[in-house]
Each structure stands twice: as structure tokens, then as C-alpha cells.
Chain A
């Protein structure tokens, strides 16, 4: 293995020697550190963000989202729209055309057959493709010529930019993956570890869950890029260590997602070796109210299902009072600093979809008390906890294990105790909490607690699929092995009607109106979901690394081709 690496390295140097005159590879080496280590470089078999982002250096889609959320063509000549005829008037098809003269990193041309193949690869029923949802609703794909494919949908698709778009759905080479279809997908270790791509870099050595070494792609479409001849992508450790390696010791040039306490981060940045960059996306840290009764005394078939309504969280006054007691500015200051901002919205962006909902931003403990008094929740038995009809306001509040979340739990517990609400805290290991194992009592879907806190976002810029998660039939329950995202067990026929309307609407202002209405129904109108913080992303790069444009809508390192050394 090591000998091979060495030989490849030596070969690389000889290849590049005559090209030293050109810009490509002139800036030497660049190091990227992710505190989660990539396990595979095939986005279609990925286990999570770390795999998709590292693969984005090698494989590219037709178009990506830029830092403002706009579509920019990558392999495609232009982004197809209704205006330029790329998307049909009836929204039933989209036509993608590849740029001319594109080459794979092995020197062969990129053709429409590769595009078609990428879709077939992921849509194969036995392949276990994790991006399957991107190809949802596709009837068939026609190859029109060497460079053009037409995707036909089963029904009108107002938002057709899912397949071949963004970091999750890149184009892979047919020649390399042809024998890896379906059940054979896991056998193609070589292809999965070193895919042939069109991106700025080519894999020279991949060590799963540890480190990737890459060199500049000799056939990259822009002859002057990338500026770096070699790249190391190290994984593992924790956010603290990653930040330290860039900001304090300068061993690496770029560190991903530094989820650290704001004062620690600020102190590190003062080291002078690098700087922090941050950007906002759609990730919202929020409280979820359980509308069903999680009591362990209930029959397992009844517990936390709609058949057993929650004893007090079904009262809107209680939910609203719990929200009013929270000081979101303080939460941001303690937990996220420049990487967070208080929000009352479930959909905080992009701008056209963000509701102007600011009612929750000021903390009002007195108002909350008054609201509870009015609703009849008073401390009638003198134990310091409000009650009504023998039901005590006693909450089990759970979340995943994470330093910031535990601080939030402690703060929120204190505010609620000022209201006269008792809170028991619980934290659960993230791999169990988000694991969705129907046998475990501790998953976020099962929701065997009264309130839980986590963050979630949606891919790309369109919130339709995300908002559709809160339809009546989408709640986790014993019948569907506790799968689904409507964990509050929210159900409102009007909401479902509006979702249906959204899925038929193409006009952007109308869509935005509908999305805002849906957002408001879940948040300020019912307080089913209590948003806390719009969480941005903080990453760090060395002072002399130029060209970094942090992107939360696509792969964070989407423009690595433009990175260069500032001299």
C-alpha cells in the first residue's frame, strides 16, 4: 500500500514537471481537516455529510448552489429554466445539456450516457442508494444526443432541480461503475474509494475513516486550476482539535464545522494563524412539543400515539407560555456566537421563504405566568409546581449529547422553573437518539418525552418536501416502525390542503406565500414547534488560503478549484 502510494506520488511529480510553467499545481500542497472521517467517496453510498463533502472534490453534478443559494452550472452549459426552454411549459420535463469537451480524469470524454447511467445506478432497487429520494418522481430519462438528456416526470414538478443537482447527486463514470450496479455496489471497493471524476482533484490514496490524498486533476476543464498540486483530507478527532490545527498550530489550511463555544473560538482565532468564516443555511435548533402522551404506564400500542393525547401540552396556552419564557438572544450568545441568530421560524431561509415572524424574540416571563394563570394552571397544592385538575406541569426534556445542547437544557430548565414548571433533563447518545431503531425507547421519533430539542434542515433551497413532513399521515407510530418526521404527531386537515396546493404551484411568489403560511401554522399559530436558534456554520481557514467562499447550500468545499495560496 505504502509503496504504491510512493510510486504514484513519484509518477505525479514527473507528470507535473513539464507543466510547472502553467498555473495548475503552482501553489503546492493544501490540507483540509474534518473532525468526522470519510468512509467512502461515492456520494450515492454515503453515510452522511463527511462522505458527500469529501466526494465533492472529485465528482461533480450538473449544477450547484452558490453561497447565496442561486444555481450555477458546473457540468451543464446553462441551468435549464422555463424561460430558456430547458424546463417544459407543463413542468413535465427538464433537459440538461453538458458542456462541450468535458473529460473524465482518465482522459475519456463525458457523455450523456454517463448522466443516464448515474440515474440508473441510484434508482436500482437493490443498490441501497442513499440519494434515492433525489430521483423520486422520474418517469424516464431520454438521451437526446451525445451531450443532452431529457428527464421526464410522472407528474408536473414545479421544482425540478433534484436529480443531478448539488453535492448529493453527482455524475459518475459509466465505464467505471458499469459492473457495480445493484447488489454488486458494495463489491466495487476500488471504484467507491477512488472514483473517476470531473472535479479539480483525483484520489491517489484513500484510507477509509482516516485520510485521503489527492492530486490535481490533469484533465480539469479549466487549464489554470486547481492551484494546488496535492491535497490531504484528514478526518477524525473532534472539533476542538480541528480548530486548533488550523488556528493555533497552522498544520492544516481548512477546518470544517467548528461547533465550539463562542469564547473558545474567539480566543483561538486571536492566535493570528487563521480566520473564521460563517454562513447561514436552513438549520434551526428548536424545541418540539409532544402532542401525545408519553407516559410509561400506557399500553405500548397507545403510548405516544394520537390515541393518547398529551395531558397538558395539548393546551396551546402551555406551549405558548413555555416559548415566551425563553431568552433566545442569550441562547445564541452562550452557544453559537456569530454562528447563530435567534429565530421564530422553522424555515429561516432562503429569504423569499422566510416568514417575518419575530414575536418570540423578546423573553416575557411575566406574560407567560399571566397566560398560565388565565388558562387555569395555578399552583393549587403549594408544591411550587403549577397544576390543573390534578395534572402537574412536569416535563421530561430530552436531547442528544452535545455540550451546547446540555447548556441550553440547563438554561431552559431554569426559565421554566421560574414559571412554576418542573423539568427533568435527559441526554441521549446521538447515534441512538437519531438512530431510529424501533427497539430503542430513546429515539427522537419515538419521543418518549414531553419536549425534545434538536436541529434539522432541508437540502437545497426549496422547503416543500420538508414542510410536507408534517402531514397527518407522516407521524411515527407502531404501525410504521416509528418512522417519519412528524414527531409532534401534528395533524391539521387545512395544513394538508395547503401542502397539496404548494406541490401544484410553480409561480415563485405564490409558493413563497404558501410556504410562509405553513411555517406560521407550525410555529407562531400553534407553538407545536418552538424554534430557538438559526444555526449557521462556522469553519476556519488559514490566513494565506485564498478563494474560500463558505457555502451552506451545497458542499462546503464546493469551490476548491478556486482555492489558492495568497503570497
Chain B
């Protein structure tokens, strides 16, 4: 398993380079222009100058190599400098956003807290709700609990978040006044009152996202459990006199985790990617909102960097999922 992991990690470097090239070319090809949001009154000559100032005059390959160097060489140095107080990166050009003319990584770091608080927490909550629901629904297939669980989770998945979010705001912010409708990213949690305020502003976005995530995961959990509950080894385990609890929660659950592990591993990078619609609805302004505004403004370096970080996480978590397969089912071998 160790050699497999190491081999895959080494292999992922060319994969990621290829992915970054494909993303770069895709963004190049996509229609749009960084000066699109400028008032229409700006004359074409000025627009041309703006593009040149952003470095768009340079040929494609030069810009790609520049991006690679800045991402893999300069930015790590900045990180090292930040941690150890060294000065490796001094005077080197960092990755700069076209919209804000400031280092992209600084903005990403600034956005992490709200993204992790809201999107990350909702994912954890979603998984924690989904697993028991999925297990119990399968164990008591066609019981009232199963029917309600199915109904709620299908509803949670088929009603889009742009609607549930607004509905919650209308009920709980406008009519009841319990929760704020605008997320305050500047809130610093340093006292009990602040903590409560933070909790209040997180309730609605976390609920909306958790419902959506839980719906998906619980369906896969249930289906997989159902597949396994009728296997002969379950009969054998019961015949051996193992308690029902051990049979279901140890034997069946372990064998049913494969698709669930895949789904969860696919979802974790999405946490970083943020939840574009939910963030917009609740004005959480996390990474999802950063990405969508960058796409709308055609801020190519920002889009490229965010998507690439996203790609790294996808490759990493799919690798983790593959390793977990081996742990869950020792018969699976890759080499």
C-alpha cells in the first residue's frame, strides 16, 4: 500500500501539470474580457492599454510559464518567509489578481475562515446526519422512518438552494427576525456574545447546505447497505451468534462504505470550492463567491489559481479514497 501511495503521489505531478495546462487553455479560449465591467464610455484605445498593463499582450506560452513559476516557485517562498521570517521572496513578482491588483494567495487566506466555518461545517453536519439516516433507512426498509427519510432527502436534493435559502431568509430574517440575512465576515469571535452572533449567522447557510449534502450521501448509504444486508455473510454472522448491533454496524457497515467513501471524498474538495449559490444568497463571501466574481470579471489569474488548487485537492482526495478502499476491503490490490 505504501509503495502504491508513493507511486501515485509521484504520478500526480505530471497529471496536475497537464490539468493546469488544460485549464489555462480553456480559460484562454473562453469568451470574455477583463475590461468588460468598465463603463461602456471608455474608449477602445484605453481598453487596449488596460489589457496590456495586465500582461495580456504577451504570448500564450510566456504567460503560462510565468504562472507556473509564480505558483510553484514564488508563492511557496512567500509562505516560507511568512512562517520563518526569511526573505527568499523579496522583489519577486507574486501571483496578482487582475481585479484587485493584489496577491491572490492573500485573498484566498482571507476567505478561508468563512468558507471553512460555513461550507466545511455544513459538510460535516451533512455527513453526520446522512450516515445514521442511511443505515437506519436500509435496516428498516419501507418503515415509516425510511419513507420519511426518503421523502425529505429527495426533497432536499430536488429543491435548489437558491430557493430554500431565500425561503429561510424570508421566514427567519424578515418575518421572525431571528437570524441576520447578511453574513458578517468581519465578526471576530472573542466573547460569548460574539460566539452567539456567529452561531446565529451560520445557522441558515449551514442548514441549507447540510440538507443538500445529507440528501445525497444518505441515498448512497442506504442503497449500499441494502445490497449488503442480504448477503450470505450476514446470515453467517448472525448464525455465529453475533449480536445484531455488531452484525450491522461492524460487518455490514464496513462492506457498505465503498460508494459512501467515494462520494464523501468527491465532496471534500467542493468544501474548498465553496458553495457558489448559497454563498451568494447569504452573502457569506467565501471562496465560492470569490471564484464566481473572478469568472464574471474574467480575472484569469484568479480563476486559474483557484481552479488549480481545487484540482490538487481533487487528485489528493481521490487518492485518499483509493487508499481507503484497500483498508475497507483488503482484497483490493492495486499492484
Residues of A within 8 A of B (CB): 1-2, 5-6, 33, 37, 39-40, 45-49, 125-130, 132-133, 183, 185-189, 192-193, 205, 207-211, 213, 232, 234-238, 240-241, 244-245, 248-249, 251-252, 430-432, 434-437, 439-440, 442-443, 456-459, 465-466, 480, 483-485
Contact = CB atoms under 8 A, between A and B. Distances in A.
Interface string B69-83: 000000000000000
A45 B34 CA distance: 12
Interface string B37-54: 111111110111110111
Given A208-B99, A238-B280, A484-B44, A5 B188 contact: yes
Contacts of A238: 280
A237 B186 contact: no
23 contacts: A46-B38, A132-B49, A133-B41, A209-B107, A210-B285, A234-B283, A236-B293, A237-B283, A244-B173, A248-B173, A248-B174, A251-B180, A431-B295, A434-B36, A434-B37, A435-B36, A436-B47, A437-B32, A439-B31, A465-B41, A480-B44, A483-B44, A483-B48
Nearest to B29: A439
Contact of A49 (B39, B53, B283): B39
A47 B36 CA distance: 8
A484 B241 CA distance: 83
B188 A208 contact: no
Given A128-B53, A437-B31, A39 B39 contact: no
Contacts of A193: 100, 102
B236 interface: no
A234 B182 contact: yes
Given A248-B173, A457-B39, 16 more contacts: A2-B186, A128-B52, A129-B49, A188-B101, A193-B100, A193-B102, A207-B186, A208-B107, A236-B289, A237-B280, A240-B166, A431-B296, A437-B31, A440-B32, A459-B41, A480-B44
| 5 nearest CB pairs, A to B | A128-B53, A440-B31, A483-B44, A48-B37, A186-B101
B53 A127 contact: yes
B181 interface: yes
Contact of B289 (A33, A185, A209): A209
B255 interface: no
Nearest to A52: B39
B297 to A, nearest CB: 6
B284 to A, nearest CB: 9
B266 interface: no
A251 B181 contact: yes
A480 to B, nearest CB: 7
B1 to A, nearest CB: 41
Contact of A209 (B35, B36, B99): B99
B102 A208 contact: yes
Interface string B181-214: 1101110101000000000000000000000000
Given A47-B297, A440-B31, A236 B180 contact: no
